[in-house]
Chains A and B, each alone.
Chain A
Amino acid sequence: MGIEKHGRLEIDENFQHHVRNWRIKRVGWAVMALLIAAALAGLLGPGPYSETSAEGPSGLHIEYQRIARYHAPAHFNLKVPGGKEDLEISVASKFVKEIALEHIDPEPKEMRLNGDRHTWIFPRQESSSEVMIHYRPEAFGKKQIRLEVKGAGTLEIQQFVMP
């Protein structure tokens, strides 16, 4: 940083640096606008792009977020067909380990461990019903989640957890 002389004034202005800086600032503003646009679109967490659903075999339906955030609320809405036997939903224990489970609505009447899978058991209704699993991700990155519903099949979804 050399000291320049402007008349009597001694100053380390370096005008070229300012010109460069103004250009970088414009790029920075564009990046900020893009970041906000992406967030509004749901590319960085809850929003239109993130909210999605998947269909499984025999009437299984799940609503979930493609993109969730670390320690922020997330949920699955699982629609299951009606039946006579108890409803058994299971997920890999690894998934349960990587989340803080907030609550399941309705509350399961029983929880069971089957090897490396967690199983929640609900009293079954004749008509189709909805189970909501509320949780907060405790690890970030791409997650492959497999939900098994006994007698109805398996749903495989992907979720990306932002840091």
Chain B
Amino acid sequence: MDSILRGVAVYVFLLIIFRVAGKRTLSQTTTFDLVLLLIISETTQQAMVDDDHSLTNGILLITTLVGMTILLSVLKQKFPKLDMALEGTPLILIDQGKLLRDRMDKCRVDESEILSAARMTQGLVAMDQIQYAILERNGDISIIPKGEK
């Protein structure tokens, strides 16, 4: 029973902390972010598994974690408000060519990141070629170039 409760507690805690940290925090995994993620996973694993290295415990924990994910996806499907609270909604950063700076500041996105997304996804070279830039729910920036119908 212990390990299941621990699994649920860790799951809920991670859900909250990554929501509080913001979508952008670990969305673009740099080498350092990758190392950070590995450290977080190691710490999480120790808190969940504790001293019980049995196969039963492993199976129970995996079932709990996957079960929580399934449960959440069902709940999110049923209650759109929960989905919005947990996953957020997309946010427009450039609206019809106009940079919305206060929004960019709030979600810690700067022009260079938008330009980088524009280069990588659309092959654009300048800000004035961008019609819309949107911070998506998964933390990626999507770019819609001007003149696209």
Contact of B110 with A by CB under 8 A: no
A17 touches B89 (CB 8 A): yes
Q: Which of A1, A9, A25, A31 contacts B89 (CB 8 A)?
A: A1
Q: Which of A11, A22, A25 contacts B90 (CB 8 A)?
A: A11
A13 touches B95 (CB 8 A): no
Query: Smallest Cβ distance from A108 to chain B, in angstroms?
Result: 25
In chain B, residues 34-58, which have Cβ atoms closer than 8 Å to a Cβ of chain A?
50-51
Q: Which of B20, B51, B90 contacts A71 (CB 8 A)?
A: B51
- In the complex, how many residues of chain B place their beta carbon closer than 8 angstroms to a beta carbon of chain A? 24
CA distance A96 to B48 in the complex (A): 25
In chain B, residues 63-111, which have Cβ atoms closer than 8 Å to a Cβ of chain A?
80, 83-84, 88-92, 95-96, 103, 106-107
The interface residues of chain B lying within 8 Å CB-to-CB of A18 are 88-89, 91, 103, 106
Quick one: CB contact mask for B99-133 with A, threshold 8 Å, 1 for yes? 00001001100000000000000000000000110
CA distance A15 to B19 in the complex (A): 17
Q: Which of B51, B84, B132 contacts A1 (CB 8 A)?
A: B84
Contact of B61 with A by CB under 8 A: no
Known contacts A22-B106, A28-B20, A29-B20, A1 near B80 by CB under 8 Å: yes
Contact of A84 with B by CB under 8 A: no
What is the interface of chain B mostly: helix, strand, loop, or mixed? mixed
B22 touches A17 (CB 8 A): no
Contact of B60 with A by CB under 8 A: no
Q: Which of A6, A24, A25, A32 contacts B95 (CB 8 A)?
A: A6
CA distance A32 to B20 in the complex (A): 9
Closest A residue to B80 by beta carbon equals A1
Q: Which of A9, A21, A28, A31 contacts B144 (CB 8 A)?
A: A9
Known: A7-B131, A28-B16. 13 other contacts (CB 8 A): A1-B89, A6-B95, A7-B96, A9-B134, A11-B134, A17-B84, A17-B88, A21-B88, A24-B20, A25-B22, A29-B20, A31-B20, A32-B17
Q: Give 11 CB contacts A-B under 8 Å.
A: A6-B95, A6-B132, A9-B92, A9-B132, A9-B144, A13-B90, A14-B84, A17-B84, A17-B88, A18-B91, A24-B20
